Amino acid sequence: MFEDLLRGWDGEGVLVRFDEPTQSWMLVCLHSTRLGPAAGGTRMKVYPSPHDALRDGLRLASAMTSKNAVAGLPLGGGKAVLAVPEIPQGDARRELLLRYADVVASLGGTYRTACDMNTSEHDMDVVAERCPYVFGRSEAGGGSGSSAPATATGVFHGIRASVEHAFGSPALDGRSVLVQGVGAVGRRLAEMLAGAGARLVLADVDESRAKEAGAALGAETLDPQDAISAEVDVFSPCATGGILNEATIPRLRCRIVAGAANNQLAEPADAERLAKAGILYAPDYVINAGGIIHLASLELLGEDRTRLEERLRGIGNTLGEVFRLAEAEGISTGAAADRLVEQRLAASPGA
């Protein structure tokens, strides 16, 4: 029920609009504006029910508060979901996005949107026709383009920091890394890892994509079913969320989990399960913040690429802080990251 989901949520509010022409639900979830406008992407997806869409939006909006806070950005957390009966194309898609733009504009900048699953920089160009509160337009449309390369760079620095913590040196030469999902982020990450001398293993449900990347980078490829139990130093999930759970964690044969996917843990207790299994987990919202850092740095803060690169390197430093805090307090890395978020929120002027 909508009521139960909202009662159990600690966010600020949700704007709900039913879009009659496409029979879609628009849900703009504002989790926190404590550190600045609630920022997070617009996910377009076919959900089993509006209830599932709301649950996804609330969870993702909360994660954006944590991600933006720990990344040191002057942004709060939000997320929008367009729960569509089928993914629209052509004019129907454009008109849906324009009506959605009016909804975002009506919030007067309290929420700033960007791309997410099934929405592209070209969709953000359309939203920007009617609404100024948009990150991630195409470069031709006046934006800073795809944030996937920055996400990959942040994950690369995060993997180095994780390897340093686990093995005493950040060097990747000869370290084995499995990249699960070689899409926009995973493919770029794989290139950087190969460049740093890592021994790469690639897995993707799109076999041709994995094979092409494997051939280009001199990497081994693996059946995606076997990815979770690969014997590697680093398992890097760059595909879908929820892959670390009660059933999969006992199958892991890696020392480190460090990747780009959002919401990797099925539930918070999975961070404890990983810690008990002796696996160093780089909390997802810390290591995958490169995308929002790219957007905020270039489009909100007016910084140049040199400053952006410094911020992306900072992801490695933040992870080091998380790992040290976890060790000092005897808590999981997930709990340590949550503690950093609480500290940053508590230190804000509005607290």
Ligand X SMILES: NC(=O)c1ccc[n+]([C@@H]2O[C@H](COP(=O)([O-])OP(=O)(O)OC[C@H]3O[C@@H](n4cnc5c(N)ncnc54)[C@H](O)[C@@H]3O)[C@@H](O)[C@H]2O)c1
> Which range of residues in 11-19, 122-130, 236-244, 324-332 is near ligand X by CB under 6 A?
236-244
The residue of the chain with the least Cβ separation from ligand X equals 183
The CA dihedral of 114, 117, 118, 123, to the nearest 10 degrees, is 0
Q: Which of 43/175 has CB closer to ligand X?
A: 43
Q: Which of 13/145 has CB closer to ligand X?
A: 145
| Beta strand pairing call for 176-180 and 199-203 | parallel
What is the SS3 assignment for 203-217? ECCCHHHHHHHHHHH
Question: Within positions 50 to 69, which residues make up the interface with ligand X, using CB under 6 A?
Answer: none
154 binds ligand X (CB under 6 A): no
**Closest separation in Å from C-beta 345 to ligand X:** 21
Q: Among 62, 147, 153, 318, which residue interacts with ligand X (rule: CB under 6 A)?
A: 147
Give the integer Cα–Cα distance in Å for 314 and 34: 22
**Closest separation in Å from C-beta 209 to ligand X:** 5
> Which range of residues in 92-100, 147-155, 269-277, 331-339 is near ligand X by CB under 6 A?
147-155
Q: Among 5, 184, 196, 325, which residue interacts with ligand X (rule: CB under 6 A)?
A: 184
Burial class (CB in 10 A: 0-12, 13-18, 19+), 195: exposed
Give the integer Cα–Cα distance in Å for 269 and 249: 11
| Beta strand pairing call for 42-45 and 76-83 | parallel
Residue among 286, 280, 289, 219 at smallest CA distance from 252: 280
Q: Among 239, 254, 280, 295, which residue interacts with ligand X (rule: CB under 6 A)?
A: 239
183 binds ligand X (CB under 6 A): yes
Site string for ligand X, 260-299 (x = CB under 6 A): xxx-------------------------x--x--------
Q: Among 205, 266, 325, 331, which residue interacts with ligand X (rule: CB under 6 A)?
A: 205
The full DSSP string for 159-174 is HHHHHHHHHS----TT
The full DSSP string for 34-54 is SSSSEE--EEEE--SSHHHHH
Give the integer Cα–Cα distance in Å for 42 and 309: 25
Q: Which of 54/152 has CB closer to ligand X?
A: 152
> Which range of residues in 51-59, 175-183, 244-252, 342-350 is near ligand X by CB under 6 A?
175-183
Tell me, by CB under 6 A, how many residues bind ligand X. Answer: 25
Encoded tokens for 155:
């994950």
